[in-house]
Amino acid sequence: MKTMPLHGAYSPVEMMTIAASRLLSNDDVCLVGIGAPSVACNLARLTHAPDLRLIYESGTIGTRPEVLPLSIGDPELCETALTTISLPEVFRYWIQGGRISVGFLGGAQIDRFGNLNSTVIGDYEAPRVRLPGAGGAPEIASGCREIYIIMELSERRFVERVDFITSFGYGEGGNHRAELGLDTRGPTTVVTDLCILKPHPVTKELMVRSIHPGVSREEISGRCGWPVRFFDPEQTPAPSTEELRVLRDLHRRTEKAHAEDAV
């Protein structure tokens, strides 16, 4: 866990997680990606959205883990779930069936139109880096009503064009989603450790709409792989004492549980 405070008494990663958690509402049915999305989603459940229904790809529905899972199928998720369903049921009835309001994803690479790459860096046939691949992401990206993305901002991750489209965002921009017959909204918010980006209403290019406290426009531009534009950005409210307390408690419980496992 990164705890180095840069802008006051919290780290940029904590700001990112908290800003992401605020996006979720009590009525959401959320398909949770592992890693950063899982932290943000559980923080939302433990603060302002206690009835938020969390679903992990492994089929655990309405799960309420006490500590963060390492994988999408940790026993903790099944033990605290309302019910557990099979994978075909997850993909057919829940994602394809339109029962998920938010898909919360991370990724290795994202481009200016919100397309995600988790397959390869370089050429597909002779990759420089072979990444894990698609998993559930392509159908989560097309089947959930909207997508939130959480990723740390860096030139390597935020690129002009992804090397491989694993999960379709807005393609080439504009009406590309509609042209492919998609009636879901796509990636409506991208939360980073410095700012929040949203697609332009017409072009669908991702633009900075909110800047975290103490962050400069130059820092954001310097860490984005395309000439990023600022669209009337506001300032992200700083983390509250309560948000920070709950987040740090969650990490502390998780580290303790995983340390016990290692013994």
Q: Footprint of another protein on residues 103-122 (CB under 8 A)?
A: 115, 119
Distances, alpha carbon 88 to alpha carbons 94, 96, 101, 166, 221, in Å: 9, 10, 19, 20, 42
- Window of 39-47, 135-143, 150-158, 210-218 that interacts with another protein by CB under 8 A: 135-143
Closest to 42 (Cα-Cα) out of 23, 60, 68, 16: 68
User: What are the DSSP E strand ranges found in the chain?
Assistant: 29-32, 53-56, 60-61, 83-84, 102-105, 109-111, 116-117, 120-122, 127-130, 146-150, 158-159, 187-191, 195-199, 206-211, 230-235
Closest to 189 (Cα-Cα) out of 200, 178, 181, 197: 197
Distances, alpha carbon 124 to alpha carbons 115, 120, 137, 225, in Å: 17, 6, 18, 21
Is residue 183 within the footprint of another protein (CB under 8 A)? no
The residue annotated as part of the active site, out of 14, 57, 205, 243, is 57
Is residue 135 within the footprint of another protein (CB under 8 A)? yes
- Window of 6-14, 45-53, 163-171, 188-196 that interacts with another protein by CB under 8 A: 163-171
Among 2, 92, 156, 185, binds another protein (CB under 8 A): 92
Residues 28 and 22: their CA atoms lie apart, in Å, by 12
Among 14, 28, 111, 139, binds another protein (CB under 8 A): 139
Is residue 14 within the footprint of another protein (CB under 8 A)? no
Residues 238 and 146: their CA atoms lie apart, in Å, by 25
Among 8, 50, 133, 213, binds another protein (CB under 8 A): 133
Is residue 60 within the footprint of another protein (CB under 8 A)? yes
Among 11, 142, 189, 236, binds another protein (CB under 8 A): 142
For another protein, the closer CB: 46 or 78: 78
For another protein, the closer CB: 135 or 214: 135
Q: Is position 57 annotated as part of the catalytic site?
A: yes
Contact positions vs another protein (CB under 8 A):
34-35, 57-60, 69-75, 77-79, 83-84, 86-88, 90-92, 95-96, 115, 119, 124, 127-139, 142-143, 164-168, 171, 176-177, 180-182, 258, 261-262
| Residues designated catalytic | 57
